[in-house]
Amino acid sequence: MSSVVSYESLVHAVSGAVGSMTAMTVFFPLDTARLRLQVDEKRKSKTTPAVLLEIIKEEGLLAPYRGWFPVISSLCCSNFVYFYTFNSLKTLWVKGQHSTTGKDLVLGVVAGVVNVLLTTPLWVVNTRLKLQGAKFRNEDVVPTNYKGIIGEHLLSSNKEELLQ
């Protein structure tokens, strides 16, 4: 188990997180366009560049990157949970034997399930934060105003209690 909590493992975990952060940063505007088309039913489906240009014209140059930090935070958490769960399970299950494709596949599935169960609240919150301040064409969509990823998580978990 000490091999899981080592400098080498930390370097691998951080490099995976940095790679994911880089990819997400580059393609973040595409995700913004997709999310807007899903949420705002009255926004006409056009090409991705056309949707992004509309968003920039209506909301400003940085609008396609709105909510970037919460997404990157959630992504880093997800990467670390998956990486350490997978490597911990692999260390416990394999114990000096040769790793097989089947075992790695099963461990990957288990690590993925653990990751989803632990980090889904973060992903829900960051989706809400990405939509904050967006201009919707659908009047049924109510704009929100949250302070950040932690405040929104606490608010969303207590919202049902507050409404009763």
Contact 67, 131 (CB under 8 A): yes
Band of pLDDT at residue 164, cut at 50, 70 and 90 = very low
> Does pTM top 0.85 for this prediction?
no
Q: How many CB atoms lie within 10 A of CB 4?
A: 19
Band of pLDDT at residue 163, cut at 50, 70 and 90 = very low
Between CA 74 and CA 105 the distance in angstroms is 24
H/E segment holding residue 16:
helix 7-39
- Region 136-160: mean pLDDT is 62
Could you give all domains of the chain from N- to C-terminal order, each with its CATH number? 7-163 (1.50.40.10)
Per 3-state DSSP, the chain is made up of helix, strand and coil in percentages (nearest 5) of 75, 0, 25
Give just the sign of the alpha carbon dihedral 101, 105, 106, 111.
positive
Strand residues in 78-127 grouped as ranges (E): none
Condensed to tens digits (0 to 9), the pLDDT of residues 87-100 reads: 999 988 877 788 88
